[in-house]
Amino acid sequence: MTVLKITKLTQYFSGLRALADFNIQLEEGELVGLIGPNGAGKTTVFNLVSGFYQPTEGVISFLGQPITGLKPHQVTAHGIARTFQNIRLWNEMTVLDNIMLAQHSSLDYGIRDLFFRTGRYQRREREIRDLAMELLEIFKLREVAEEKPKNLSYGLQRKVEIARALSSKPKLLLLDEPAAGLPSRDVVELIDLIRWIHREFKIAIWMIEHQMKVVMSLCSRITVIDFGVVIAEGTPEEIQHHPDVIKAYLGDDQL
Ligand SMILES: Nc1ncnc2c1ncn2[C@@H]1O[C@H](COP(=O)(O)OP(=O)(O)OP(=O)(O)O)[C@@H](O)[C@H]1O
Ligand SMILES: [Mg+2]
């Protein structure tokens, strides 16, 4: 079953073409990568899919339904969750509240339930707390549940952000450079964590990543963009030896 289908996606920013005619199809349970040099348009693709930008042209459909032009919370409600290249957590709240609050976008109780603290409200609040605690347990974050994210190491903040994304029970998880800024021992742990999430949660994962070790060891196929245009698609093996990819990264010692 096709999870995500993007057709002819194009984005201009006042004259600058950030993305041109981008097409991709993600199948259920796939783990795929999106790579390219700085400024290639990778984050723009994720911002378009998750409703942060409205595309100049193109169609995005998710599980057969068009989601083009929806607002971020509507996209989340459809089953797409994301993390950010620059971690975005609510720094003045606890880790637990960060994860609980993320689930409130999918609330199914109304203002009346909230006001009168009805049984339905209390039940739902308990469910939200239980799921948040479960995620903290899974991610070995129980000890930092009452900490503020700003007091945690970068690696732990990344984990909290992924746990928060999963709390909306997505069918597709978008990870924008999850390994950025991590020391190498944390990168190894992150690779294992992503592999584990992919297996246990049985969701599709689409990741942007500069660290080749991460994409190459996790992704079954990779799309490469440069200046907003797809220059290669294929397995990690094919991508590594693709002449256009080598050229795009020339001078960059990561490949
Ligand atoms: N909101 C915006 N307004 C104007 N220009 C933008 C906006 N967002 C992105 N751009 C431009 O679009 C191009 C693609 O940016 P994008 O952030 O998608 O690149 P990227 O591939 O994610 O790069 P990096 O690897 O550095 O994160 C860049 O030239 C960037 O300056
Ligand atoms: Mg980016």
Q: Just give the CATH number of 2-93+169-248.
A: 3.40.50.300
* % of the chain exceeding 70 in pLDDT: 91
Tokens representing 238 are: 């094919």
Measured CA to CA, the distance from residue 141 to residue 40 in angstroms comes to: 34
Tokens representing 60 are: 């995005």
Q: Give me the pLDDT at residue 116, please.
A: 64
Atom of ligand 1 nearest to the CA of 208: 22
Q: How many CA atoms lie within 13 A of 21 on its CB side?
A: 3
Residue with the bigger pLDDT between 49 and 116: it is 49
pLDDT band at residue 103 under the 50/70/90 scheme: confident
Total-model pTM: 0.91
Cβ distance 25 to 9 under 8 Å?
Answer: no
The alpha carbon of 8 and the centre of ligand 2 are apart by a number of angstroms equal to 20
* Model confidence at 126: pLDDT above 80: yes
**Pocket perturbation via mutation, ligand 1, pick of 13, 207, 208, 230 by most ligand atoms within 8 A of CB:** 13
Q: Is the CB of 13 under 6 A from ligand 1?
A: yes
SS3 117: coil
Residues 37-52: what's their mean pLDDT? 97
Residues 206-219: what's their mean pLDDT? 94
Residues 220-228: what's their mean pLDDT? 97
Q: Give me the pLDDT at residue 19, please.
A: 98
Cβ distance 135 to 167 under 8 Å?
Answer: yes
pLDDT band at residue 69 under the 50/70/90 scheme: very high
Strand pairing of 57-62 and 65-66?
A: antiparallel
pLDDT band at residue 106 under the 50/70/90 scheme: low
The alpha carbon of 46 and the centre of ligand 2 are apart by a number of angstroms equal to 9
**Pocket perturbation via mutation, ligand 1, pick of 12, 44, 224 by most ligand atoms within 8 A of CB:** 44
Minimum mean pLDDT range among 35-44, 106-115, 220-229: 106-115
